[in-house]
Homo-oligomer: A and B are copies of this chain.
Amino acid sequence: MANTQFTNVGIIFGDVLRRYRSERNLSQEELAHRAGVDRTFISRLERGIRQPTITTLLGLGAALGVPAAELVKATEAEWLKRAEG
């Protein structure tokens, strides 16, 4: 049953996504449209209820005008920070 240590990744990614979206004054609906996904899915991502695949990540990055790698980097940094608590 591996990966108990990665349990919070979705929550952290949700925070990151919401922050990037807010900074750009995009609505969930507009982001969803640009990224080619459903609005309710964005809502679930931001709340950490769902997790993106790498394809979705690239779509979100393109929609936000930021490399997907940057979203992952921010998520990873926050995750490492919380992991060492």
Contacts of A79 in B (CB 8 A): 58
**Other 4 A-B pairs with CB < 8 A, given A9-B58, A54-B72:** A2-B59, A54-B75, A57-B72, A58-B75
**Bound complex: CA of A73 vs CA of B76, how far in Å?**
13
Q: How many residues of A contact B (CB 8 A)?
A: 27
Count of identical protomers in the assembly:
2
A27 CB to closest chain B CB (Å) equals 17
1/0 contact string of A18-61 vs chain B (CB within 8 Å): 00000000000000000111000000000000011111011101
Interface centre among A9, A54, A59, A68 (most CB of B within 10 A): A54
A1 vs chain B, min Cβ distance (A):
9
